[in-house]
Copies of this chain bind each other. A is one copy, B any other.
Amino acid sequence: MEKRAVVLLSGGLDSAVTLAIALSEGYGCRALSFRYGQRHSVELASAEKVAATLGAGEHCVIGLDERSFRGSALTDDIPVPKGRSIDPDTGEIPVTYVPARNTVFLALALAHAEIIDADAIFIGVNALDYSGYPDCRPDFIRAFETVAALGTRRGREGRPFQIRTPLIDLTKAEIIRTGDALGVDFSLTTSCYDPDGGGRACGMCDSCRLRRAGFEAAGVPDPTVYRAEGDTP
Q: What are 29 A-to-B residue pairs whose CB atoms are below 8 Å?
A: A60-B65, A60-B67, A62-B65, A64-B64, A67-B112, A68-B108, A68-B111, A68-B112, A71-B115, A100-B110, A100-B151, A100-B152, A103-B151, A104-B104, A106-B107, A107-B107, A134-B151, A134-B155, A134-B156, A135-B152, A137-B150, A140-B147, A140-B150, A140-B151, A143-B146, A143-B147, A143-B151, A144-B151, A147-B147
Chain B proximity of A32: nearest CB distance (Å): 9
**Among A63, A64, A99, A110, residue most surrounded by chain B Cβ atoms (within 10 Å):** A99
Q: Which chain B residues border A100 with CB–CB below 8 Å? A: 107, 110-111, 113-114, 148, 151-152
Confirm or deny: A69 has a beta carbon within 8 angstroms of a beta carbon on chain B.
yes
Does more than half of chain A's interface fall in helix, strand or loop, or is it mixed? helix
Q: Which residues of A contact B (CB under 8 A)?
A: 60, 62-65, 67-71, 91, 93, 97, 99-104, 106-108, 110-115, 134-135, 137, 139-140, 143-144, 146-148, 150-153, 155-156
Q: Which residues of B contact A110 (CB under 8 A)?
A: 99-100, 103-104
Closest residue to A136 on the B side, CB-wise? B151
Q: How far is the CB of A14 from chain B (nearest CB, A)?
A: 18
B62 close to A67 (CB less than 8 A): yes
Which residues from B are CB-within-8-Å of A101? 111
Copies in the complex: 2
- Report how far A107 CA is from B115 CA in the complex, Å: 18
Contact of A111 among B91, B104, B114, B146 (CB under 8 A): B104
Q: Which residue of B lies closest to A134 (CB)?
A: B156
Which residues on B sit within 8 Å (CB–CB) of A71? 114-115
Contact of A143 among B68, B97, B150 (CB under 8 A): B150
* A63→B66 CA distance, assembly (Å): 10
B147 touches A134 (CB 8 A): no
CA distance A135 to B146 in the complex (A): 12
Q: Which 4 A-B pairs have the closest CB atoms?
A: A99-B114, A107-B107, A100-B111, A135-B151
